[in-house]
Structure formats: structure tokens, C-alpha cells
């Protein structure tokens, strides 16, 4: 091992510190002080040095991702049990809690509390030794949790080293909640839905599922946050109050709850709790209540804990965003991408201040799994800004008249046959002229990398669609200048230009056109592959999977989507109509299959009279990859012998060159 120069070590240490600081600015404070480029450059520099010298600090930001997946979670014993919280569902119960605290402490004085939002996520413990993050664990049963260190390290706001404070405890276990924002939750769910994977019921499950992943690279792809609010085992520091501890956490660059307030007496607590209930509506994440804690750690110790909950804290839960109502109907609804989802039409019910009358059921498997029938009473939840969803059926209220919904065989909008890919949850309409999808499809069709119709941007497509001027791809080519002139923002010249651009787009390439069609799974790359392997679009009509998967790099899923697309009568009719309107597809990408070359590398010499003229025979040999030379030498592979051979035959015999007849040559040619 090479000796690492002191300057290199110093530089690596400096970079680690600096990048960790900028991580904190970016992920915790939301106020970066350098540009992304500068940040990336520093990170790249650090990576290079680490690779070159093999000197990687334990708190290096490069260690946050890419760690190898562990087989299963190791168990971690919490040095102080991780307790749960007692709940208060009303203001009265809060007042009772305060009275109990006072009674147990034997005082009539007002108690000082802290009030924090209750984050709805997954409780974790972060263990630091000499300021360095050494372990992270889930709560588990409160005594033993799972080792999730690698996963937690992918959360950028988690400090890998405690910095920014003058005193760092020798050992400290910090507790917090890992959570996910609502937009990320929705993003993941729609991605999962597209892929046909089961969706997460709420952001909490999504956060928990993301952290309790065997593969940390999956965790790294999810946007997770943490709010730290508690201390477990601690050696080398003595905090006096919860509030003081939170201030220390902030200084030490830990993300803490958005707001933590001190309150003298329960009345002030009640006022703050109500204030939070208003404020939570504007948070991008979910809070399901407020946590009220006795501020003094000394008093906390005196109050102690029951088996599972401390006596010094309580969670005030906001009224649940749930209600019970009847399913009037279950209708299929076609999304803009062709996915057909079941939607439950509900008897209107007020939940959390709004009237709910419909709820998406995500997919048909979910309807089956939850066994939701028309006529059922269901529990509906509206969490934060999330669309209401059905949690389950109140089966006790069934009368026997409920009707199981059926997955539609035809698209409810265009009537085209629905398809469902094997192993996929999503039911789809793949008719590319389906009115429900047409706007999105046309936008894609006209876009720069597809048909490249200049001037036909998203806004114009929306206008044309809205005005009923364009209901399919074909309609684009039927547009007249006077139609376009009617649109806002178009004048003589611009409308003329658009017509010209439309006309120009008729002459395009097969790969662009295939991409423009918006076939599921077929992006630009797959479109190119198809163009390389199929000379004309007609060669793709009614193409079979078996043929498609012979193309290297075309997987089964893509092949199936292509087969489905080109087995749809409507789609073929539409393509044919486009062709009639002048669409011409060049295919410069088509690669002629290499011709069989049975004579490749072989040299022939001809002697005597053959059944065919010599130049014809020579051409035959050359087309099959062989060569013809005039004189026999050691390099000659075969002497082709006709009638009345000359001296070449003698020479060939001397050199041991093989001789063949014309018939034998033909046999060789037929070999391939």
C-alpha cells in the first residue's frame, strides 16, 4: 500500500467536511450557498481522490449510495427502549393528561410543555459514537429493531457526522421520524401503478417500505426526509429540557420538526395545538396530530413510563379524515395514457370539510382484493391533499344484493378491445385514436423528435382539440389554413407556416413515425431497432412476438406491446389512411441482412469448359463470397474442372489442390 501524502489526506478531509456542510445547507436548510455545478465538481474531485488513494472517511458523502444490498436486516437492541405514545382524541383528554401530570408530580403549578407536530412516518434511531453515525435502526418492538444503516445513509439530510456544535457527546442515540412528502408519495404510486405493482396505501407505508428495503439503491431513489425529535441513550452530555435538546439538534445540523413551541400550562398547549391544526394544511407532508411533552427532562424522569408509553407525553390526534358511505356505481375511466381504472361513484359524504362523491380504485386487482361491490358501504379516507381512497368494505352491512363489478372488455370511450399485459395490473385501451387519449398522443405525435411539426406545440394541440378540429392524427393532415386562422394567436403568416410544416412532416422516416405512434414501451431507441429490422411499416402489420424477440435488445414486454398495437384493426386502418393522405416513410436505418456467403474465404481457379459461360460462373462464386483467380498456386482452395481441362489440372495435382466439378460447386452454393 502506498503511503498517502499528508496533503492528500488533508484535502480529502476538507472536501468531506465542505460537501457535508453544503448537503446540510441544501437538504436541511433548503438554502444552498453554492451552485449545483460547484457541488458536483467537489464531489467528483473527492471521488477521484478516494479512488486514487483508497482513503475513504467513514462520513464521506460518497458512502451514501451504492452500498451492496444486505441479505436480511440484522437485529439491533435499543439501549433505551423506544416507546410509543398515548393518544388524546379531544381537548378534554388533553386537560385530563395535564391534571394527571400535575397529580403525579404533586404540584398545582403550571407545567411547561413543548408542542411539536406529530409526523406520520417511521420511527428510527440514529446512533452516533464520537460524533460519527455508526448505526441506524427501526423501532421494531421498541426493544429490538432492524439494522437499516445503509438505507438511512441514503437520506441526504441525515448527518453522517455531528458538526457545528462545540460539544459532541461521546455517544448519543437520536430518534426521529422518516417520512415522505405527498407529491413523492403520489409519484411513486403512479409509477407503481403503471408498472402494475401494488400501490402504497399512504405516505407512511411508502416511507416505511422505502426504508425497510433490502437494497439501499431502491431507498436512494425515493425522496425521504427525517425529522429528529428525541434522545435515547446519551453519554457525555446533559440536556436539561426537550426544548434545549431540539435547539442543540438544530445547531448540530439535524433536521427537526418544522416547528417546536414551548407552552406554559395546558391552555397555551390547546391554543398551539389548534394553531398547528391550521398550519398542517400547508405542509407538503402529513402530520396526524401534535405531540405534547413535559419540557423538563428531570420531571420526565420523575414521571417515568408505563409499559409502552411514557407518562410525560401524549399525542393529540386530529379528527380522522375518514367517513363511511355507499358505492353507487363502479365505472371504468380512461386516463390520458390509455390506462383504464375503476372509479367508485359514492353517495356524497363530508370528510374533513369537503364533500367526497368519487374515489379512484387504482386498478381492477385492487377492487378484487378489497372485494368492493356496487351497493357496498365502504370506509373512505381523505388524507391531506391526497385524493380520497377506499380503505375497505363494511361487510357487516351487506344485504346480499351487492353486485361485483366486471372488468370491461371494451374501452368505455372508443369501444376498442381492452388489453392487459401478462403480469401487469393495468388494463389498457391501445387504440391510438381513442378520444380519451388523443390529446396527449397528438402532442407526442407532433413533437420535435417525433413527426417534428414545427408550430404544432402543446398549446396549439390543446386548442385544436378543444375546438374539435383535431380528433385524431389524421385530422392534423385535414387542417386547412382557414381553420387555423380561427385559433387565437394565429395570423395569415403563422397559419400558412403551420400548414407548410404539416405538409413537410408527411415525408419522414420509419423510425420517427414508429416513435410518433406512441406505442407503449416503444421509445426512440426501440423505434430505431424496429426500423433497422423491418424495411416497411407493412412488414409490422400483424407481426408476432416470436419474430420481434429475435431482435437482440427487444424484450418480451416490448415485443408484446408492439404485437398488440399492430394487431389492432383501428390502428392499421389509421396508418393506411395516413399513407393515402401522402405520408411517405423512408427507412435509411434498415440494415440489409448479410447475405449468406458459403464460399467466404475460398479461392477458385477455373479450367475447361463449364455448362455455363465462365463469367457467369465467376459471378456466382463471387456473389457467394468466393474469389476467382487465374493461376493455380498453393493459395488456391479449389480447381473447378470442366470438360477438356488444361495444364492447370496438372499443376493442381502437383500442388495437392482439391478439384471439384460444376455440380459439386452448385451443391456448395446451396449449403447455406
- Long-range contacts of residues 264-269, Cβ cutoff 8 Å, at least 24 apart: 264/110, 264/112, 265/98, 265/110, 265/111, 266/94, 266/95, 266/97, 266/98, 266/110, 266/111, 266/113, 268/113, 269/94, 269/98, 269/113, 269/115
Minimum gap (Å) between residue 240 Cβ and ligand IVH: 18
Strand pairing report for 638-641 and 322-334:
unpaired
b/e code 137-166 from CB counts within 10 Å (16+ = b): bbbbeeeebbbbbbbbbbbbbbbbbbbeee
Which residues make Cβ contacts (< 8 Å) with residue 564, sequence separation at least 6? 419, 421, 430
Q: Tell me the closest approach of the beta carbon of residue 525 to ligand IVH, in angstroms.
A: 45
Please state the closest distance from residue 278 (CB atom) to ligand IVH, in A. Answer: 18
* Nearest to ligand IVH of 313, 561 (CB atom): 313
CB of 86 vs ligand IVH, minimal distance in Å: 9
Q: Which is nearer to ligand IVH, 291 or 621 (CB)?
A: 291
Distance CA 405, CA 378 (A): 15
- Compare residues 86 and 147 and give the one whose CB is closer to ligand IVH: 86
Query: Rounded to the nearest whole angstrom, what is the least distance from the CB of residue 85 to ligand IVH in the complex?
Result: 4
**Separation of first and last alpha carbons in the chain:** 58
> Which cell is 644 given?
477438356
CB of 428 to ligand IVH, least distance (A): 40
**Cα separation of 105 and 100, whole Å?**
9
Q: How far is CA 413 from the centre of its chain?
A: 28
- Give the integer Cα–Cα distance in Å for 335 and 321: 27
Nearest of 229, 267, 225 to residue 247 by alpha carbon: 229
CB of 145 or CB of 230, closer to ligand IVH: 230
Bridge partners (DSSP) listed for residue 317: 289
Closest chain position to ligand IVH (CB): 123
Q: From the DSSP assignment, how many helices (H) and strands (E) are in the chain?
A: 24, 24
667 is catalytic: no
**DSSP of 50-67:** HHHH----TT-GGGGS-P
How far, in Å, CA of 380 to CA of 163, rounded?
Answer: 46
Which of 53/239 has CB closer to ligand IVH? 239
Nearest to ligand IVH of 179, 638 (CB atom): 179
307 versus 399: smaller Cβ distance to ligand IVH: 307
CB of 156 to ligand IVH, least distance (A): 20
Residues of the shown chain interacting with ligand IVH in the complex, contacts defined by CB under 6 A: 83-85, 116, 118-119, 123, 177, 229-230, 257, 291, 310, 313, 315
CA 486 to chain centre: 41
Annotated active-site residue in 9, 47, 102, 118: 118
Nearer to ligand IVH, 78 or 118 (CB): 118
Helix (H) or strand (E) holding 351: strand 339-351
Name which of 83 and 461 has its Cβ closer to ligand IVH.
83
- Bridge partners (DSSP) listed for residue 314: 292
Q: Least CB distance from residue 76 to ligand IVH, whole Å? A: 16
Burial class (CB in 10 A: 0-12, 13-18, 19+), 307: exposed
Which residue, 291 or 442, is less far from ligand IVH as judged by CB? 291
Radius of gyration of the chain (CA): 36
Least distance from ligand IVH to the Cβ atom of residue 84, Å:
5
The answer to whether 338 and 382 are in contact (CB under 8 A) is no
d(CA 511, CA 523): 10
Please provide the DSSP assignment of 386-443 as one string.
SPPEEEEE-GGG--S--B-----SB-TTT-PBEEE-TT---EEE--TT-HHHHHHHHH
Distance, CA of 261 to CA of 269 (rounded, Å):
9
Compute the least distance from the CB of residue 302 to ligand IVH, in Å. Answer: 15
Q: Which is nearer to ligand IVH, 82 or 527 (CB)?
A: 82
Residue 421, all three cell numbers: 399485459
- 8 and 55 in contact (C-beta within 8 Å)? yes
Task: Count other Cβ atoms within 10 Å, centred on residue 645.
Answer: 17
Q: How far is the CB of 475 from ligand IVH (least distance, A)?
A: 55
Q: Hey, which residues are catalytic here?
A: 118
Amino acid at each position: 500500500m502506498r503511503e498517502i501524502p499528508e496533503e492528500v489526506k488533508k484535502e480529502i478531509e476538507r472536501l468531506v467536511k465542505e460537501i457535508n456542510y453544503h448537503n446540510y445547507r441544501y437538504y436541511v436548510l433548503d438554502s444552498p450557498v453554492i451552485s449545483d455545478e460547484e457541488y458536483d465538481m467537489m464531489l467528483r474531485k473527492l471521488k477521484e481522490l478516494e479512488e486514487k488513494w483508497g482513503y475513504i472517511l467513514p462520513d464521506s458523502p460518497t458512502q451514501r449510495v451504492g452500498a451492496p444490498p444486505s441479505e436480511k436486516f440484522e437485529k439491533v437492541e435499543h439501549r433505551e427502549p423506544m416507546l410509543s405514545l398515548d393518544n388524546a382524541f379531544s381537548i378534554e383528554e388533553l386537560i385530563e393528561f395535564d391534571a394527571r401530570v400535575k397529580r403525579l408530580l404533586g404540584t398545582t403549578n403550571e407545567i411547561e410543555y413543548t408542542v411539536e407536530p406529530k409526523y406520520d412516518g417511521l420511527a428510527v434511531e440514529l446512533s452516533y459514537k464520537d460524533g460519527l453515525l455508526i448505526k441506524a435502526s427501526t423501532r421494531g418492538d421498541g426493544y429490538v429493531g432492524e439494522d437499516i444503516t445503509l438505507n438511512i445513509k441514503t437520506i441526504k439530510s441525515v448527518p453522517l457526522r455531528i458538526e457545528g456544535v462545540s460539544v459532541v457527546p461521546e455517544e448519543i442515540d437520536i430518534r426521529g421520524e422518516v417520512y415522505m412528502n405527498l407529491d413523492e408519495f403520489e409519484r411513486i404510486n403512479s409509477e407503481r401503478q403503471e408498472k402494475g405493482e401494488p400501490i402504497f396505501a399512504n405516505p407512511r407505508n411508502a416511507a416505511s417500505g422505502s426504508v425497510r428495503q433490502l437494497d439501499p439503491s431502491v431507498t436512494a431513489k425515493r425522496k425521504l426526509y427525517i425529522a429528529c425529535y428525541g434522545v435515547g441513550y446519551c453519554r457525555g452530555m446533559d440536556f436539561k429540557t426537550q426544548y434545549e435538546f431540539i435547539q442543540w439538534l438544530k445547531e448540530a445540523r439535524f433536521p427537526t420538526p418544522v416547528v417546536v413551541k414551548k407552552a406554559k400550562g395546558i391552555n397555551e398547549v390547546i391554543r398551539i395545538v389548534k394553531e398547528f391544526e391550521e398550519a398542517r394544511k400547508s405542509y407538503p407532508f402529513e402530520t396526524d396530530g401534535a405531540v405534547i411533552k413535559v419540557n423538563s427532562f428531570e420531571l420526565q424522569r420523575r414521571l417515568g413510563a408505563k409499559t409502552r408509553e411514557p407518562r410525560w407525553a401524549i399525542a393529540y390526534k386530529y379528527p380522522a379524515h375518514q367517513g363511511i358511505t355507499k358505492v353507487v356505481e363502479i365505472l371504468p375511466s380512461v386516463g390520458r395514457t390509455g390506462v383504464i381504472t375503476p372509479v367508485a361513484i359514492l353517495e356524497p359524504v363530508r370528510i374533513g370539510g369537503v364533500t367526497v362523491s368519487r374515489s379512484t380504485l387504482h386498478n381492477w386487482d385492487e377492487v378484487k382484493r378489497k372485494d368492493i361491490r356496487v351497493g357496498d358501504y365502504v370506509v373512505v379516507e381523505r388524507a391531506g391533499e391526497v385524493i380520497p381512497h377506499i380503505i375497505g368494505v363494511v361487510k357487516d352491512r351487506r344485504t346480499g344484493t351487492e353486485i361485483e363489478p366486471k372488468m370491461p372488455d371494451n374501452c368505455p370511450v372508443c369501444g376498442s378491445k381492452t388489453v392487459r399485459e401478462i403480469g401487469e395490473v393495468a388494463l389498457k385501451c391501445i387504440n391510438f385514436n381513442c378520444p380519451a387519449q388523443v390529446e396527449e398522443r397528438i402532442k407526442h405525435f407532433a413533437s420535435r423528435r417525433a413527426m417534428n411539426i414545427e408550430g404544432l406545440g402543446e398549446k396549439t394541440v390543446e386548442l385544436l382539440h378543444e375546438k374539435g378540429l383535431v380528433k385524431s392524427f389524421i385530422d392534423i393532415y385535414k387542417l386547412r389554413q382557414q381553420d387555423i386562422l380561427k385559433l387565437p394567436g394565429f395570423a395569415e403568416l403563422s397559419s400558412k407556416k403551420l400548414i407548410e410544416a404539416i405538409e413537410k412532416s408527411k415525408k419522414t422516416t420509419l423510425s420517427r413515425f414508429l416513435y410518433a405512434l406512441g406505442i407503449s414501451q416503444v421509445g426512440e431507441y426501440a423505434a430505431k431497432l424496429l426500423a433497422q429490422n423491418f424495411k416497411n411499416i407493412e412488414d409490422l402489420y400483424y407481426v408476432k412476438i416470436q419474430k420481434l424477440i429475435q431482435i437482440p435488445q427487444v424484450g418480451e414486454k416490448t415485443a408484446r406491446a408492439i404485437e398488440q398495437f399492430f394487431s389492432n384493426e383501428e390502428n392499421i386502418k389509421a396508418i393506411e389512411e395516413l399513407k393515402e393522405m401522402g405520408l411517405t416513410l423512408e427507412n435509411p436505418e434498415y440494415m440489409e441482412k448479410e447475405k449468406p456467403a458459403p464460399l467466404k474465404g475460398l479461392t477458385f481457379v477455373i479450367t475447361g469448359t463449364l455448362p455455363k459461360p465462365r463469367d457467369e460462373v465467376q459471378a456466382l462464386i463471387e456473389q457467394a463470397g468466393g474469389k476467382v483467380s487465374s493461376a493455380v498456386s498453393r493459395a488456391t482452395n479449389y480447381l473447378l474442372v470442366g470438360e477438356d481441362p488444361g495444364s492447370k489440372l496438372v499443376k493442381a495435382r502437383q500442388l495437392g489442390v482439391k478439384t471439384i466439378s460444376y455440380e459439386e460447386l452448385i451443391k456448395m452454393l446451396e449449403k447455406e
